[in-house]
Amino acid sequence: MEFLKKYMFKYWKLFFTAVFFLSIEAYCDLLQPTIMAGIVDNGVAAKKMNIVMSMGGKMLLVAAFGAFAATMRNIISSSVSQKFGAELRLDLFKKIQSFSFDNVDEFEGATLITRLTNDITQLQNFTNGLMRIFVKAPLLCIGSLIMATLLNPHLAVVLLVVVPVIICMIAASMNIGLPFFIKVQKSIDRVNGVMREYLSGIRVVKAFNRFDYEVNRFNTENENLAYVSTKAMKVMAIFSPGITLVVNLGIVVVLWIGGFRVESHSIHVGQIIAFINYMTQILSSLMMISFVFNMFVRARVSARRIGEVFSKENAMSSAVTSYIYKGAIEEKGRLDFENVFFKYKANDREPVIKNVSFTCMPGEVMGIIGSTGSGKSSLINLIPRFYDVTSGCIKVDGEDIRNIDIKKLRDNIAVVPQKIVLFTGTIMDNIRWGKEMAKEEEVARASTIAQAHDFITAFPEGYNTTLGQGGVNLSGGQKQRISIARALIKNPELLILDDSTSAVDVATETKLMGALKEYYKGLSCIIIAQRITSVMMADRIIVLDNGSISDIGSHEELLIKSTVYKDIYSSQIGKGVTEL
């Protein structure tokens, strides 16, 4: 649990301040049975009301002082636990943000959400409990044992039997409960995963009327969560009544022994009352310890899961030199692939990219086309270092991208992904994601080039039109064009369009490509497409087949020499596919 050291160092002063007030509270609780014994034996039994009133006043004063200490302890513990939880959650979120795609692939999205929410809440609750009852319970338990022993050593023999039995029961509950709570957290992961998948694909579910299937799928995981949670609670529930039974049996024995000793005048009634109060305090403290140990078991599981995230190092190596991306003046925007191989770490299959070599010169438009699964998206994901190559190298402006500061590299590359993501907010806000401080004129210019200005200004609120989550109030083509405008406003040296005009009509796409060439004369552009009309106008076209370059050349050259390209052209153009 190395990640917790940071927070221990930061909050130890407040923690021990809370423990200080807690100790005062526990001391006040321990004094009261002794004062009560004095009231009974010296005041009530002797019929001396002045002693009853005097010692009663002392008891009220001790109770008030204990209440003040408890209030201060509650304020500090709540403040520390909330700050700790918020800071830990932020640090974990930052850690997740630093992950490469390889790291994210190792964890499922649902489990990261669970660790960021439920698991941190478990640690936060445990921290709060640690300062409120976990430290108090041992103090009360040990203090009650000492006070009871000082009060009457003969009756204290009962405690020598009761306390070890209870300690063994608590230890057993920890060892038995841990595996069950591991299963509970994993089950929560699966429930979150089903829910997350349903919400992301809700339109498909509605379109195919698969409500019953989704309900059954969720119900299966939900019932499994209820089953493992119930089983865990049943196992843990055995121990609390067991502890209560053992302590109550001890109290019965104390009353039985005490009765004989009262008759023989070797012990006072007040001492019996005080001893039973101490036994009750021991019961209460042991129950608290049992409860907190249950919390500890869950917190331990959660801490282990959070620690797995913190201990995961970024799979992508950092730059090995101090080189910072500047771009050679004469070759600004040049891209070189040199014998690149790549395979995903999540599986041991053969590489998805095999021995790819090509050069994209500054200002050149290069198209990449191939069948589904040919490796087009995998190829372009290597350029901004979403993944690192398995072997070979990729160079930007003649420098290996592994030697370039990642932030600087990505600042000069704009990627429009295959799956368009728009955020809740205005159209203006979404386009300014590419350049936070962009002026309205810059936004309008980028939108004009992306062929988005006309439909945006047609909205009553124009660029201030609010988008729903994911841009639900826009068509697919409109979302793609806003995403392209967001990329263009960065004024990048290399623009990558990953099948990002698939929902745009051919006429609009032609205007878009013409505008790109007119306004961004030095811009290098890579276009990945399924539709051959999207790449026909490119200076050169790479034909990918099963992760390898089949052919490379212009549209006219490929129609002559590339069988794969001719087949694609024939299937989409030659036979007059109507949707084109």
326-412+494-580 architecture in CATH?
3-Layer(aba) Sandwich (3.40)
Residue 38 and residue 455: Cα distance in Å, rounded? Answer: 88
The rounded Cα 142 to chain-centroid distance in angstroms is 40
Residue 124 CB-half CA count within 13 A: 19
CA distances from 43 to 35, 63, 262, 427 (A): 11, 20, 18, 81
| Residue 108 pLDDT | 65
Asked if the domains at 326-412+494-580 and 418-491 fall in one CATH topology, the answer is: yes
Instruction: Read off the pLDDT of residues 284-338 as tens digits, 9 standing for 90 and up.
Output: 777 777 677 777 777 888 888 888 888 887 766 554 444 444 444 456 778 999 9
Q: Which CATH superfamily is domain 418-491 in?
A: P-loop containing nucleotide triphosphate hydrolases (3.40.50.300)
Residue 380 and residue 386: Cα distance in Å, rounded? Answer: 9
| Residue 517 pLDDT | 75
| Residue 317 pLDDT | 58
Mark the ranges of the chain whose per-residue pLDDT is less than 50. 319-329, 576-580
pTM above 0.85, yes or no: no
Q: What is the 3-state secondary structure (H, E, C) of 312-354?
A: CCCCCCCCCCCCCCCCCHHHCCCEEEEEEEECCCCCCCCCCEE
- Every domain of the chain and the residues it spans: 2-311, 326-412+494-580, 418-491
Residue 267 and residue 275: Cα distance in Å, rounded? Answer: 11
| Residue 58 pLDDT | 83
Residue 418 and residue 528: Cα distance in Å, rounded? Answer: 9
| Residue 520 pLDDT | 66
Q: What is the CATH number of domain 2-311?
A: 1.20.1560.10
